[in-house]
Amino acid sequence: MPITTTWYYPWLFAMGLNAVLLSTLWISPKKLLTPVGILNAWLLGVIVWATLGWQGYAVVVFYFIFGSAVTRVGLAEKEAAGIAEERSGARGAGNVWGSALVATICALATIFVSEPINNLLLLGYVASFSTKLSDTTATEIGKAYGKRTFLITTLQPVPRGTEGAVSLEGTLAGIAASVAIASLGWAVGMISLLGVVWCVIAAFVATTIESLIGATIEDKIPWLTHDLVNILNTLIGAVVAIFIAWVYQLTVIS
């Protein structure tokens, strides 16, 4: 995005748009965001719209709506079992940036670069959300419908909701979610059809690594919070997708 003398127009529009949209969440009886979460989501929305336009905004809104919906699947049962998300799934500031910090960095960086780096950053943006939505969906569907849940490091059966646990139902749902949001990224022109493949592969790799972290070290390192693990998860997804695309481009050129 070239910087012009009217560079601030998209920012002003984004401020007003997000203020209007998020005010509806403020008064909504179903609290999808905490008050602090709403303020941070406003900042996220402003940055995304101002840097990536409606296309990037569509991706983050899809993530928020789908991610919030899947969190509430089987909520009563998950709350009764003590494995539901805090605040019945309402997102706070940590949730917002744990999910979207990497994507926000990719979006801001597009201001200062041109193709082909810009295209790689757009891929990283979509891949980070593909990764997070895949992780969220796999976790929540696994908690609600996982018939057999295994610890990823030992493949021994463990209760639903155990850190590092995986299930067939959750894994398949997570893959489907990554396909859905990556396809949206393609439909709005942010990535190529091949980029959808890279995002899905990257999301699977990153969520697998995230499960390994959860099963081995997350509870053993005090500073390794769940929000930080989410940031690492999305970073891995973005980096893997960019790396695959970069290697593929080098292969095609040579």
Mean of the per-residue pLDDT values for the chain? 89
pLDDT at 223 over 90: no
What tens digit of pLDDT does each residue of 40-70 get?
Answer: 999 999 999 999 999 999 999 999 999 989 9
Confidence of residue 77 (pLDDT cuts 50, 70, 90): confident
Round to whole Å and give the CA distance between 184 and 177.
11
57 vs 26, more confident: 57
- Domain membership of residue 99 (yes or no) is yes
**Predicted local confidence at residue 207, as pLDDT:** 96
**Predicted local confidence at residue 22, as pLDDT:** 87
- Domain membership of residue 97 (yes or no) is yes
Q: Average pLDDT for residues 18-28, to the nearest whole number?
A: 84
What tens digit of pLDDT does each residue of 99-154 get?
Answer: 999 999 999 999 999 888 999 999 999 999 999 999 999 999 988 888 889 999 99
One-character DSSP codes across 29-47: SS-SB-HHHHHHHHHHHHH
> Is residue 9 exposed (0-12), middle (13-18) or buried (19+ Cβ within 10 Å)?
exposed
Average the pLDDT over each of 24-33, 89-98, 224-233 and give the range with the smallest value: 24-33
- Domain membership of residue 232 (yes or no) is yes
**Predicted local confidence at residue 85, as pLDDT:** 63
Give yes or no for a cis peptide into 222 (omega within 30° of 0).
no
- Domain membership of residue 47 (yes or no) is yes
The residue length of the chain stands at 254
**Predicted local confidence at residue 208, as pLDDT:** 95
- Domain membership of residue 2 (yes or no) is no
- Domain membership of residue 3 (yes or no) is no
**Predicted local confidence at residue 1, as pLDDT:** 47
Confidence of residue 254 (pLDDT cuts 50, 70, 90): low
- Domain membership of residue 248 (yes or no) is yes
**Predicted local confidence at residue 167, as pLDDT:** 92
Q: Provide Rg for the chain, Cα atoms.
A: 18
Give the range of the structural domain holding residue 12, as residue numbers without chain letter.
8-253
**Predicted local confidence at residue 27, as pLDDT:** 78
Total domains in the fold of the chain: 1
**Predicted local confidence at residue 4, as pLDDT:** 52
The share of the chain scoring above pLDDT 90, in percent, equals 61
Round to whole Å and give the CA distance between 155 and 151.
5
Round to whole Å and give the CA distance between 101 and 93.
11
What backbone torsions phi and psi does residue 83 show, to the nearest 5 degrees?
-120, 10
This prediction has a pTM of 0.91
What tens digit of pLDDT does each residue of 180-218 get?
Answer: 999 999 999 999 999 999 999 999 999 999 999 988 988
Round to whole Å and give the CA distance between 21 and 138.
28
Per the rule left: phi > 0, alpha: psi between -120 and 50, beta: everything else, 161 is left
- Domain membership of residue 1 (yes or no) is no
**Predicted local confidence at residue 230, as pLDDT:** 94
The share of the chain scoring above pLDDT 70, in percent, equals 91
Round to whole Å and give the CA distance between 191 and 134.
18
